[in-house]
């Protein structure tokens, strides 16, 4: 391999293939340069000789514009977010060609975003910086997929920042006893609260329910045509949630909204005010979704079924957030230990007393059983 180090510490590769000379620098380590050289050689070998669409001078700003117009805007629900982030990417990289970018440029871009881009609550977090990084990587990957660019992706060589998982907030029984009476005073907010607790739906999904999305027979459920994961799903109804839905469906047009046409931000604002009154300033409407999942799993519901109800893209997502609460698998498997040892009668009696005490606990009043 023709990998060497410059006096300033940077590494570069240089090789000749098919009577063409290839050279690129800006790598931080010898290993990184060797890996880039291997990728480059394989791309040159696979590159079609008669591909007239290939543009070796493709600029990142041009690829970003085409990515947005042909992919993000037509197919992504978060296209507006992509639009604002693409603007930052274009401002930073300007008219530079993709082939000229290096992993070091991506490092500098991450630093630029963390210092100069402002979010809703001020300077963006590392989690948001990772989103900018991921979008940059996606734009170049999309250009490669469309055969517009055949070089390596400089964003591959830069690791994402490791983010500590945010603590999942649940509604505790004593908090529910304080919060429910306060929300019950607001007839507009109460249906959102009950549906959020008993279905795990997002506030945006509840606000968008139409009468035609409600299915009463043979089993009551709500059809969600568009979710965050871009997949449709069915959410079963039970108890107070079913009662609210049935009462609202009557005497309404099929295309009418099930609840009052209130913006999700308005619902979230009302809910926040109630939480502050209940001395729960850190509790949000989305925490009702966490509470639903936690309660279902702690009562023995299968995690893959809860994942389907929540509309997660994969059960892995559900496990990351709530896997430690999934009691069904553990309690089913632990029974196989039966008979490993003969226990004294006094021990068996103590174990039975513990089981009876656990089974006698009472749940929360408005949460699904």
| Confidence band for 323, pLDDT divided at 50, 70 and 90 | confident
pLDDT greater than 70 at residue 205? yes
What is the per-residue pLDDT for 50?
47
What is the per-residue pLDDT for 350?
55
What topology does CATH give the domain 173-329? hpI Integrase; Chain A (1.10.443)
Q: How far apart are CA 341 and CA 204, in angstroms?
A: 54
Contact present, 88 and 113 (Cβ < 8 Å)? yes
pLDDT greater than 90 at residue 112? yes
Q: How far apart are CA 206 and CA 241, in angstroms?
A: 12
Q: Is 51 helix (H, G, I), strand (E, B) or coil?
A: coil
Sorted by sequence, the CB contacts under 8 Å of residue 56 that are 6+ apart come out as 99
Give the rounded percent of residues in the chain with a pLDDT score beyond 70: 83
What is the per-residue pLDDT for 333?
57
CB-side neighbour CA atoms (13 Å) of 139? 28
What topology does CATH give the domain 54-164? DNA polymerase; domain 1 (1.10.150)
Contact present, 129 and 113 (Cβ < 8 Å)? yes
> In whole numbers, what is the pLDDT of the chain averaged over residues?
85
- How many Cβ atoms are within 10 Å of 167's Cβ, its own excluded? 7
Strand extents, DSSP E, the chain: 3-5, 11-17, 20-27, 118-119, 122-123, 214-215, 221-224, 233-236
- How many Cβ atoms are within 10 Å of 124's Cβ, its own excluded? 19
| Confidence band for 269, pLDDT divided at 50, 70 and 90 | very high
Q: What is the pTM of this model?
A: 0.64
Element housing 224 (H / E): strand 221-224
Task: Give yes or no for a cis peptide into 218 (omega within 30° of 0).
Answer: yes
| Confidence band for 52, pLDDT divided at 50, 70 and 90 | very low
Contact present, 124 and 113 (Cβ < 8 Å)? yes
- Token pair listed for 200: 């795990």
pLDDT greater than 50 at residue 92? yes
How far from 56 is each of 42, 100, 309, 323, 326, CA to CA, in Å?
A: 16, 10, 47, 47, 52
What is the per-residue pLDDT for 211?
93
What is the per-residue pLDDT for 337?
58
Burial class of residue 113 (count of CB atoms within 10 Å of its CB; 0-12, 13-18, 19+): buried
Higher pLDDT, 102 or 356: 102
143, 157, 4: which is closest to 61 by C-alpha?
143
Q: How far apart are CA 312 and CA 200, in angstroms?
A: 11
Region 102-124 average pLDDT:
89
Strand order in the sheet with 221-224: 214-215, 221-224, 233-236
Q: Report the residue count for the chain.
A: 369
pLDDT greater than 70 at residue 327? no
């Amino acid at each position: 391999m023709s990998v060497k180090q410059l006096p300033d510490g940077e590494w570069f590769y240089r090789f000749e293939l098919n009577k063409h000379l290839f050279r690129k620098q800006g790598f931080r380590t010898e290993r990184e340069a060797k890996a880039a050289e291997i990728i480059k050689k394989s791309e040159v070998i696979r590159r079609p000789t008669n591909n007239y669409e290939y543009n070796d001078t493709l600029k990142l700003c041009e690829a970003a514009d085409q990515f947005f117009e042909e992919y993000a805007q037509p197919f992504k629900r978060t296209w507006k977010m992509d639009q604002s982030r693409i603007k930052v990417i274009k401002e930073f990289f300007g008219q530079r060609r993709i082939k000229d970018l290096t992993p070091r440029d991506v490092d500098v871009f991450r630093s630029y975003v963390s210092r100069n881009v402002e979010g809703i609550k001020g300077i963006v977090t590392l989690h948001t910086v990772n989103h900018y990084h991921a979008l940059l990587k996606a734009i170049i990957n999309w250009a490669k997929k469309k055969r517009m660019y055949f070089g390596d992706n400089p964003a591959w060589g830069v690791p994402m920042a490791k983010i500590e998982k945010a603590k999942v907030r649940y509604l505790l029984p004593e908090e529910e006893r304080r919060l429910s009476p306060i929300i019950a005073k607001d007839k507009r907010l109460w249906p959102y609260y009950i549906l959020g607790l008993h279905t795990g739906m997002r506030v945006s999904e509840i606000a968008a329910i139409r009468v035609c999305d409600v299915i009463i027979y043979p089993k009551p459920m709500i059809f969600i045509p568009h979710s965050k994961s871009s997949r449709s799903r069915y959410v079963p109804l039970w108890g107070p949630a079913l009662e609210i839905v049935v009462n609202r469906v009557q005497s309404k047009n099929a295309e009418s909204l099930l609840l009052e046409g209130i913006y999700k931000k308005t619902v979230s604002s009302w809910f926040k005010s109630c939480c502050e009154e209940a001395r729960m300033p850190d509790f949000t409407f989305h925490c009702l979704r966490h509470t639903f999942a936690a309660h279902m799993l702690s009562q023995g519901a299968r995690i893959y079924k809860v994942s389907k109800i929540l509309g997660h893209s994969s059960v892995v997502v559900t496990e990351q957030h709530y896997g430690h609460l999934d009691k069904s698998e553990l309690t089913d498997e632990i029974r196989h230990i039966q008979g490993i040892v003969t226990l004294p009668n006094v021990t068996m009696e103590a174990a039975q007393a513990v089981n009876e005490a656990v089974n006698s606990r009472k749940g929360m009043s408005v949460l699904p059983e």
